[in-house]
A and B are shown apart, each in its own frame.
Chain A
Amino acid sequence: MINILLIFIGKFISSISRTFNLGNGSTWPGHIALSINKNFITDLLKTSKTNTILIIGTNGKTTTTKLLQTILEHTGKRVLINSSGANLLNGIASSLIIHALLNARIKKDFAIFEVDENVFPAAALFIKPDFVIALNLFRDQLDRYGEIDTISKKWKDSIKNLKNTNLILNSDDPQIAYLGKDVENVNYFGMESKSLENITLEHSSDSLLCPNCGKKLSFSAYYFSHLGKWKCDNCGFKRPSPDITHTPFYPIPGTHAMYDVLASVLLAKKLKISNKVIEKSLRSFKPAFGRQEIIVSNGRQIQFFLSKNPTSFNESLKTITSLNPKNLLILLNDRIPDGTDVSWIWDIDFEKLLEKNTKLYVSGDRVYDLALRLKYAGISRENYKTFENISDAINSGLTSTGANDTLYILPTYSAMLEARKILTGKKIL
């Protein structure tokens, strides 16, 4: 009974915040429900036949959620997801409230939740998911998440206690593959592509030591960052042989995105969805907001590449430089969702931009830290302009962008929300 009331209140708050564009409708209803009934999520899922999927990893959660949603909806399944960024327990509870009927039933076939790194143990406990997809583990916002070894230990402990969960794990990331060690019901996705193999390690790499014994791992190939073909010469722990290495179609550019597609397709195959349907649905895929999303404003094309940590930033920069950009706007904020520590910008290879004749615009809360990074990358002062105000930076960038050109935007999370709001006049969260 209490849950029915909580759903009623939650729906009411959510509709008000949407009507008045307050921008926090995706977490408040859940926050209230959980503070009154801490088992709210378990209660709601218990009475429904919804299959649950949790997606964890530093990078690619939102894209993978959207990929799976697209595939499942193509087969006629009803799918519920939490909105991106609302990946704490309150966001999960809110998405249940929004989709629940007034009798507290959930009439959906699948619920896909992307889950924050630190929240995964609690979410796993409350949800007892049917599937967990673990994508990767990169250094991210050390001030908020701590060091990656701490997170991987929490995940390992939590996964040991899950009984009827199928794990979908990245074989190429040693810390992720380790989650499947001595556990049942595990499938692996990984890369197999001679043309994408590198023999040297990129600078911003994290997991070089064996998660099992702590000795240095040896790699015969790297795909990007520390993802590749690895083995430990000391204890013998090695990259598990992947169950999937190719998919019929990759809807988004970039090596990092290929892993998201592989993970989604592997799960779809576990659900016995045919190759034909998978391929058709992937061809209809539209990226999630901010993730290579394209917006048109005043006849000019703007493309966002949300980047939250060294790995995603470096990958985005690689993809953008390959497109020979004329104008690139880089936005660095240091609020809680971005991470208050901006030291990671020194692990970004801005030196790549040296060969390009790209006009750079920089802005955000930490505009001068970013400008310093460009200065020390050796980029000449005429090639970048600094703006304390994001609107001014966007205006300047758009003014220089020709009618058939694209203004590329590489923002941190809160800067992406801000820039997108300036361009579309609408809040997302």
Chain B
Amino acid sequence: MRNNHKSSIINHQSLVIGWLYPELMSIYGDRGNIIVLQKRCEWRNIKVEVLMLNVGFEKNQLLKCDLLFMGGAQDKQQEAVSIDLHKKRNILKKLIESNIPGLFICGAYQFLGQYYEESNGNIINGLKIFDIFTKNGGESIKRLIGNISLTCSTLGIRLLGFENHGGRTYLLQNAKPFGRVIKGYGNNGDDKTEGIIYKNCFGTYLHGPILPKNPALADFLIQKALEKKYGTKITLKKLDDGLEEKARITIAKRLSVEI
């Protein structure tokens, strides 16, 4: 049935992006990631709908989504979100296991891990989807702040961004990092790993936001979402990324790295 209509479906592609907790988990210009996904779809005539999934949302809403995004927040906001998110854990886990593409930044990245250890030793359970855990060293430990560059071998790209996090994240056995740190701190400032790749989902500390200066990652997410939805290989139309390139060069020069 799908295959018979493939060509006409492909001409009228559409995606639903699920934005988890835009009201409380939106700091560090997280909205920029959504804007970039939206525009890069629009410029290719792919229709986009963004579902705003705020605290208390009906969990079946998640089943409508082709792509997931969730940003970071301050501690207090995260507590409020945590209760709601745990109620939706199983459905979220199922979606991720079935290869839905997703991007989880900073606080969201930590949430999806096994646990979060507070500075007083208190353990907060994570959603146990990513094989990571995070430790908060307390106020005496310095925050990891600054421009960052990393290489992601899975996508074959160099990423540039800005990180600002107090927590140190560690990968457990079998977890695959998002990238290798070239300049900057990454997950914990020690082991040169940054973020995680799990199925088609990315967890990362890069904000800035991440997607405007890394359009290849935005396109990867869009492509995977379309391929999963339409069950066929998709090649995205090329866009003019001249300005993106110039913005990348600015940061690469600062860090004395190649772009």
Contact = CB atoms under 8 A, between A and B. Distances in A.
Interface of A: 139, 142-143, 146-149, 203, 208-209, 214-216, 340-347, 365-369, 371-373, 375-378
B29 A344 contact: yes
B207 A343 contact: yes
Given A345-B29, A346-B209, A347-B31, A372 B164 contact: no
A366 B213 contact: no
Q: Which 7 A-B pairs have the closest CB atoms?
A: A346-B32, A346-B29, A343-B29, A368-B247, A368-B246, A147-B74, A343-B28
A304 to B, nearest CB: 24
A371 B243 CA distance: 7
Interface in B71-91: 74-77, 79-80
B16 interface: no
B209 to A, nearest CB: 6
B164 to A, nearest CB: 6
Given A143-B145, A368-B250, A376-B32, A214 B209 contact: no
Contacts of B147: 340
Report which residue of A216, A346, A347, A373 has the largest number of chain B beta carbons within 10 angstroms of its beta carbon: A346
B212 A376 contact: yes
B191 interface: no
Given A149-B74, A341-B145, A366-B247, 7 more contacts: A142-B164, A208-B77, A214-B76, A340-B162, A342-B162, A346-B212, A369-B212
A346 B31 contact: yes
Contacts of B46: none
B146 interface: yes
A140 B143 CA distance: 16
A388 to B, nearest CB: 9
Contacts of A341: 28, 145, 162, 164, 208
B243 A347 contact: no
A308 to B, nearest CB: 15
Give the size range of B's interface with the partner: 35 or more
Contacts of B146: 143, 340
Contacts of A148: 74
Contact of A347 (B29, B145, B250): B29
Nearest to A209: B76
B103 to A, nearest CB: 15
B48 interface: no
Given A214-B76, A214-B79, A372 B247 contact: yes
A366 B250 contact: yes
A209 B80 contact: yes
B23 interface: yes
Contacts of A147: 27, 74-75
Given A142-B28, A214-B80, A373 B74 contact: no
B35 interface: yes
Contacts of A365: 250
A161 to B, nearest CB: 19
A369 B245 CA distance: 10
Given A346-B29, A347-B29, A375 B23 contact: no
16 contacts: A143-B164, A147-B74, A148-B74, A208-B24, A214-B79, A215-B80, A340-B162, A341-B164, A346-B212, A347-B31, A366-B247, A368-B243, A368-B246, A371-B247, A372-B212, A376-B39
Contacts of A340: 145-147, 162
Contact of B213 (A216, A367, A372): A372
B208 A343 contact: yes
A346 B32 CA distance: 5
Contacts of A209: 24, 76-77, 80
B244 interface: yes
Contacts of A375: 243
A419 B207 CA distance: 29
A146 to B, nearest CB: 8
B222 to A, nearest CB: 14
B182 interface: no
Interface string B167-208: 000000000000000000000000000000000000000011
B41 interface: no
B76 A149 contact: yes
Nearest to A344: B29
A214 B55 CA distance: 14
Contacts of B247: 366, 368-369, 371-372
A216 B209 contact: no
Contacts of B249: 368
B36 interface: yes
Nearest to A205: B23
A314 B213 CA distance: 23
A12 B24 CA distance: 52
A348 B250 CA distance: 21
A174 to B, nearest CB: 12
Nearest to B40: A376
Nearest to B55: A216
A216 B79 CA distance: 11
B91 to A, nearest CB: 23
A371 B246 CA distance: 10
A335 to B, nearest CB: 12
Report which residue of A143, A341, A377 has the largest number of chain B beta carbons within 10 angstroms of its beta carbon: A341
Contacts of B143: 146
Contacts of B246: 368, 371
B29 A208 contact: no
A375 B164 CA distance: 26
A138 to B, nearest CB: 12
Interface string B242-259: 011011011000000000
A142 B247 CA distance: 21
A350 to B, nearest CB: 10
Nearest to A348: B29
A372 B29 contact: no
